[in-house]
Amino acid sequence: MSDAATLGKSNQEQAVAAWVNYLNQLRLDNLLRALNRQDVNLKDALASLHDATRKIDLEVVAANRGGVKGMHGFIAEVAEVGVGNARSQILGNGPTYQWVNDNGPVDLMRSGVEIQQKFVAAGGRFGLGAIAEHLQKYPDFVESGGKYQIPRDHFEVIQTLHAMPREEAGKLLTLGGDGPSLKDWNRIHAFFDEGSVGIESLEPSHLQYSEVQKGAYRATLEAEEGSLRFTDQSLRGDAYQESRPTLREGARATLVAAAIEGGTAVALAVVEKRRAGKQLRDFTGEDRADIAGEGRFGVAKGGVRGFSIYALTNFTATSAAVASSIVTAAFGVAEQANKLRRGEIDEREFIENAELVCLETAISALSSCIGQALIPVPVLGAVIGNTVGIIMYKAVSSSLSDREAALIAHYLSEQRALDEQHAADYQELIEKLDASMSDYLGVLERAFSPDIEIALLGSVELALELGVATEEVLNSDEKVLAYFLD
């Protein structure tokens, strides 16, 4: 394969890696943006809740607004604004409620809709009597799109009894008890049968009647804060799950990589045949079969490359450029292994070629990483970096002159001769050491012989062997007697 073809193939490989990395980065960027938005959403939601608590404390409770019987109504209005806005803001939708606070026909505004709250328990009509009184004062309230808002628990009872047929209502309690009674059913149906207000003009508050009483609103809003934080964590978890790699995206990366590598393989096969002097119109069936085979092989390699890069970059701490180089090196070493099995190269050539493949893929990875860092444009930076790096490597690797090559060869020859000389000297020293040790062990054996005469003669030999002066060695009867008797 020519240098240009090799460079083109390397660029294609790093382009696939850079594209997979771009997909991964998009998911991470989306996650970071979602988490940053959620930080703002939580801050705004809690601020709405805290503002509602402050207003109730100062403008309602401290001011004794509404008195003993009516205070809970104002608490409900402010709490509804705080809770409603907070629940909207935690989802990133912004505030929707506004407290009108003018003692007029409208208590709240929600996205342009007028709302009149009726938190009334007196009379046992779940606030329907208060709604009828309000409608007498403001008969156009419902026709103009206004809504009556009642406690959530009251609305649930009204909704259930309104939908209940008379036959079933006859089974309800008639005298007290914890549940709704037949009397409640009759009151509710009488109200809606009158026709001034339909059930569609009623809506539930976020809060129950008991939750907005003077002694309960703080616990209610504190519980709401806990609920908001739980919702916040759930939304963050959803954002994280959406940012995780998926089988669908992995399949997409695999298919795109297979298409790119297959197309590149076909193009390179056509170029090689054109370089051989064949015109396109002269291609035979065999030529087209060869090109198709290269294309199929390229598709298979590309699929493996795309899936492997996607898996390595998402499930291990591996950059896309390095992941591509790992796959490329694996393909290259496998190709050299096949050549070794077929006997086309020997073991030494296999090792050298495998080292060269790994070196070139490492240079490609490093160049792509540097290029992407210097040119932060998806894919383009990696391709430019890979091109510059490979060209520089090829230029450097082929720049040695004949003289420099000869010097290196001469140096290697000298090193080999020196190794041989050292080996010979080492062997000679070993032989001398073996001989010396043999003599020494023989003398030592005689010196410690159980035969006294042999031991005495051996001791003399050992002393002389160890360098004791001859005149100090007890090697005669006279020296022995003189040494022990003097």
Residue ranges of domains in the chain: 3-26+245-402, 29-240, 422-485
* Stretches in the chain below the pLDDT threshold 50: 1-5, 7-8, 175, 366-401
Q: What is the pLDDT of residues 40-63, one digit of tens each?
A: 999 999 999 999 999 999 999 999
CA angle 140, 144, 146 (to 5 degrees): 95
Record the pTM: 0.60
- In this structure, which amino acid lies at residue 188? I
For residues 337 and 325, give the distance between their C-alpha atoms in angstroms, rounded to a whole number: 18
For residues 402 and 485, give the distance between their C-alpha atoms in angstroms, rounded to a whole number: 85
- Residue 446: count of CB within 10 angstroms of its CB: 17
Give residue 95's pLDDT.
94
Give residue 390's pLDDT.
40
- In this structure, which amino acid lies at residue 151? P
Nearest residue to 78 via CA among 62, 57, 105, 99: 99
- Mapping DSSP onto H, E and C, the string for the chain reads CCHHHHHHHHHHHHHHHHHHHHHHHHHHHHHHHHHHHHHHHHHHHHHHHHHHHHHHHHHHHCCCCCHHHHHHHHHHHHHHHHHHHHHHHCCCCCCCEEECCCCCCCCEEECCEEEEECCCCHHHCCCHHHHHHHHHHCCCCCCCCCEEEECHHHHHHHHHHHHCCHHHHCCCECCCCCCCEHHHHHHHHHHHHCCCCCHHHEEECCCCHHHHCCCCHHHHHHHHHHHHHHHHHHHHHHHHHHHCCCHHHHHHHHHHHHHHHHHHHHHHHHHHHHHCCCCHHHCCHHHHHHHHHHHHHHHHHHHHHHHHHHHHHHHCCCCHHHHHHHHHHHHHHHHHHHHHHHCCCCHHHHHHHHHHHHHHHHHHHHHHHHHHHHCCCCCHHHHHHHHHHHHHHHHHHCCCCHHHHHHHHHHHHHHHHHHHHHHHHHHHHHHHHHHHHHHHHHHHHHHCCCCHHHHHHHHHHHHHHCCCCHHHCCCCHHHHHHHHHC
Lookup: tokens for 367: 């160049």
Give residue 345's pLDDT.
75
Alpha carbon 179 to its chain centroid, in Å, reads 53
**In this structure, are residues 484 and 475 in contact, taking their beta carbons and an 8 Å threshold?**
no
Strand partners, 97: 110
